[in-house]
Amino acid sequence: MTSCKLVEKVMLFEYKDILILGDSFCERRDLDSDWPMIVSRRLTGSNDIPRGTGFGGISWWSVRKALIKEIKLHIPKVLIFCHTEPNRLPHDYDIPLNSSSVFREKLDTFHCKDFISLDKLERIKQAARLYYEELWSHDYCQWAQASWFQEVDTLIEAYNIPYVIHMKCFASSISIPYIFRNGITIKEDLQSISLIGMEFRNHFTEEINQKLGNRLADLILINQTGLVDLDIT
């Protein structure tokens, strides 16, 4: 069997071939020690910031929009998802609207700060609060996310994306168990190896960022598929 070291020398991928999307577990990606950078550098030899976005606190809908946009620019060969929990509020402003953030004094408006007014932001926050207090349906959110996962599998097949890794961010990220038809479904949730609420990049220590990035690169290089243990602690 060809070793990973020999495969890496061939550099099967270009920078544009790697796409990493999800929530805050893949948001930080510009330092050498960030796991998305480690994956991209090992597969391409490039030190450019990896394609894609990590939307902290934001619904899977923003990830879907980003995926459609990125596919139109260039169909990736390697696609990595950090799938967030299902109950975050979908919308088109890419603001983190979830059952925790909307009850805080301030919202993170990084993704829309150049085109949304403070007055509009306040109305959005009020609407989101009322949604969670009066309209939120856990069953609907689970159904919607399961439908998104089915669409992901369909898109991967339609665009013939050969290497895909699916990681759930929280134990509740996939309330209805779903094993993707294509690529790898990681068994563990990322929260179980993280330091949520502490100032660590992607919620991981530098050591875990390194281990995670190298483990994911290895899985791609050996063309692993199916349900897989992360097994990095």
Residues 6 or more apart whose Cβ sits within 8 Å of residue 58: 23, 84, 88, 94, 95, 96, 97, 98, 111
pLDDT at 3: 44
pLDDT at 163: 98
Place domain 4-87+139-228 in its CATH homologous superfamily.
SGNH hydrolase (3.40.50.1110)
Q: Taking the domains of the chain in order of start, what are their residue ranges?
A: 4-87+139-228, 90-135
Q: What is 50-107 written as a DSSP string?
A: PBS-B-TT--HHHHHHHHHHHHHH---SEEEEEE--TTSPP-SS----STTGGGSS--
Indicate yes or no: pTM above 0.95: no
CA atoms within 13 A on the CB side of 142: 9
Give the E-state strand segments of the chain in sequence order: 18-22, 78-83, 163-168, 184-189, 226-228
pLDDT at 7: 45
| Segment 96-119, tens digit of pLDDT | 999 999 998 777 666 666 668 888
Note whether 179 and 83 are within 8 A (CB): no
Sign of the CA dihedral 89, 172, 200, 101?
Answer: positive
Average pLDDT over residues 25-52: 96
pLDDT at 139: 92
pLDDT at 9: 44
Could you report how far apart the first and last alpha carbons of the chain are, in Å? Answer: 26
Kindly report which listed range (11-25, 44-58, 153-167, 188-202) carries the lowest average pLDDT score. Answer: 188-202
- Burial (CB < 10 A; 0-12, 13-18, 19+), residue 12, is middle
How confident is residue 198, by pLDDT bands cut at 50, 70 and 90? low
For 184, the 3-state DSSP assignment is: strand
Rounded alpha-carbon distances, angstroms, from residue 26 to 19, 30, 49: 11, 11, 12
